[in-house]
A and B are shown apart, each in its own frame.
Chain A
Amino acid sequence: MSSSLEKNMLILRSSDGEEFIVPEVVAVMSKAIKNMVEDECASNTIPVPNVDANILAMVIEFCKKHDESEAEAASDLKTFDSEFVNRGQEALYDLITAANFRDVKELLDALCQNVAEMIKGKSVHHIRIQFLGYQLFEILTSNFIWNIWCDRDFD
C-alpha cells in the first residue's frame, strides 16, 4: 500500500483514468474489490474497468452513505435509496452494470427494486420496447454476427 496514503484508504481508478480516494470500508462493499484486498493483490490503485468516472462517483456516493448510516434510521436510508435510484434509464443501466459487475449487493438490490417498480404495471408492448436491446441480443447468438453487429453503424 502506498505510504503517502492514509491508513485504510484505497485508490480506485475508473475506466477513463480518474482516481478516487476511498476509505477501505467503503470500497470493500464491492465484493469484487473485497476479494482483491483480501487476496492482497490490490496494489496502490485498484482499476475499475467498465465503469466510468461519472458512474463510479455515484457508486461511491451510495456506498459511503450506506457505510456511514449503519447507525442511521432505516427509513432515512430508504428515502436516500429511492432518491438515489431515481435516474434516467441510461444512468440506471450503467449503474446496474457496475453494481452487478463489481458485486455491490446493496446497490444492486436497490436498483433492481426500482426497475421492478418501474415495470410492474407496464404492458407487454411497453416492456418489449424498453428491453429492445435484450431482444436483439437474443437474436444474435453467434460471435460472428455479434462482431459485425458491434462494428456496424446505426442511424
Chain B
Amino acid sequence: MTTTTKKSVSNACILEDVLVEILARLPVKSLLRFRSVYKSWYSLITNPSFITTHLNRTKSNHIHKLLIKFNYENGDRCLSFTDDKTFRDEFVKLDYPFQNYDKIVGSSDGLLCLLDYYGSEYVVLWNPSIRRFMKLPKSCSSVTKARRHLLRFDFGFGFDHMSNGYKVVKIMGAKDNHRHCVVHRVELFALSTGSWRSICIGDLCYELYGFDSLPTFMNGAAH
C-alpha cells in the first residue's frame, strides 16, 4: 500500500506539468465545470496563458464553426452554432442574454460583437461559450438625439496582433454641405484597457459608402 500511495503522490508532481497538456485538450464545457475541482485548477483554467494555449490548440484542430442567425416572422431572433460535422443535423441554439442587441458587428475567436437595435451607441461583447457578456462604456463622443440624424456610425471588431488584444473601432461620419458623408472622428476601444480613445485621423477626408454593410476584419485591420 505504501508503494501505491508513494506512486500516486509522485504521479501528482508530474501531473502538474502534464495537467496543462490534458486540460488544453478539453472542450470549453468541461473546463467550465472543472474550474470547481480544485482552487489550483481554477487559477490554471482562468489563467490568460492557458486560455491562449487552449485557443491555439482548438484553432489548429480546424473545426470550423458556423454562426447562423434566424429572424423569425414573429420578430423572435435566435443565433445558432453548427460545425462541419454536425451541419444540417444539429443546431445549438444560443439565447441572447439581452434584448435589443441584434446587429452583429463581427466575431473573432468565438467572441461576438453586437450592436444595439438602432446601431448607434451601445456595443456589447459576448462570449457565448462561457455565457458572459460585457457592455462597453459609452464612447466619449456621445451625441444628442437632435444631431444623431446627421451622423452615421460604422463599427468594426477584431483581434489586433500588434497589441495582442481585441478591439472595437468606431468610425463616425458626418454629412457635409454636399450631402456626402465624410469621416468625422474615429475611436478605438481596447478590451485590455477597457476604455475608448480617439485616434488622430489628420486630414483624412474619405467618403463613407455603403451604409449598412458590415466591415470585414483581416489581419488586424477593418476594411
Contacts and interface: CB of A to CB of B under 8 A. Distances in A.
Interface of A: 90, 93, 96-97, 100-101, 108-109, 112-113, 115-116, 119-121, 123-124, 127-128, 131-138, 140, 149-150, 152-155
B40 A100 contact: no
Interface size class of B (residues with CB under 8 A): 20 to 34
B8 A132 contact: yes
23 contacts: A96-B11, A96-B14, A96-B15, A100-B17, A108-B18, A109-B21, A112-B22, A113-B25, A119-B22, A119-B26, A120-B27, A120-B30, A133-B9, A133-B11, A133-B15, A134-B15, A134-B19, A138-B40, A149-B9, A150-B6, A150-B9, A153-B2, A155-B1
Nearest to A111: B18
Nearest to A97: B14
Those 5 A-B pairs whose CB atoms lie nearest each other, nearest first: A133-B8, A137-B12, A116-B25, A133-B12, A112-B21
B37 A112 contact: no
Nearest to A90: B7
Contacts of B27: 120
Contacts of B34: 119, 124, 127
Contact of A124 (B9, B10, B11, B37): B37
A119 B30 contact: yes
Most A CB contacts (10 A, CB to CB) among B1, B16, B36, B37 go to: B37
Contact of A131 (B1, B10, B21, B37): B37
B36 A124 contact: yes
A154 to B, nearest CB: 5
A129 to B, nearest CB: 11
Nearest to A153: B2
A108 B20 CA distance: 12
**Residue among B11, B13, B36 with max Cβ neighbours from chain A (10 Å):** B11
B5 interface: yes
Given A97-B11, A100-B14, A132-B8, A154 B25 contact: no
Nearest to A138: B40
B73 to A, nearest CB: 38
A93 B11 contact: yes
